Amino acid sequence: MHETPTTSSSEIEAAPRIGLGTDRHRMVVGRPCLLGGVSIDCQVGPFGHSDADAILHALIDALLGAAGLDDIGTLFPDTDPQWKGANSADLLVEALQLLSAQSLHPVSADITAHCDRPKIGPHRAQIRANLANWLGLPLDRVNIKGKTLEGVTTDVEYIDVIAVVLLQNHRD
Ligand code: MG
Strand-strand pairing, 142-147 and 104-114: parallel
CATH for 16: 3.30.1330.50
Q: Write out pLDDT tens, residues 103-157.
A: 999 999 999 999 999 999 999 999 999 999 999 999 999 999 999 988 887 889 9
Q: Write out pLDDT tens, residues 12-36.
A: 888 999 999 999 999 999 999 999 9
Strand-strand pairing, 33-35 and 44-46: unpaired
Residue 105 lies in a domain: yes
**What is the chain's mean pLDDT, rounded?**
93
pLDDT-above-90 percentage for the chain: 78
Binned at pLDDT 50, 70 and 90, residue 1 comes out as: low
Residue 4 lies in a domain: no
How many angstroms does the Cα of residue 52 sit away from the middle of ligand 1? 5
Note the pLDDT of residue 110. Answer: 98
Residue from 22, 23, 41 nearest 32 by CA: 41
How many angstroms does the Cα of residue 12 sit away from the middle of ligand 1? 31
Number of domains in the chain: 1
End-to-end CA distance of the chain: 42
CB 115 within 8 A of CB 144: no
How many angstroms does the Cα of residue 102 sit away from the middle of ligand 1? 25
Residue 2 lies in a domain: no
How many angstroms does the Cα of residue 128 sit away from the middle of ligand 1? 19
Q: Which domain holds residue 57?
A: 9-169
Binned at pLDDT 50, 70 and 90, residue 47 comes out as: very high
Residue 31 lies in a domain: yes
Residue 42 lies in a domain: yes
Q: Does residue 172 register a pLDDT over 60?
A: no
Q: What is the mean pLDDT of residues 29-52?
A: 94
Q: What is the pTM of this model?
A: 0.94
Task: Please state, in angstroms and as integers, the Cα–Cα distance from residue 47 to each residue in 24, 31, 34, 98, following that order.
Answer: 10, 7, 10, 27
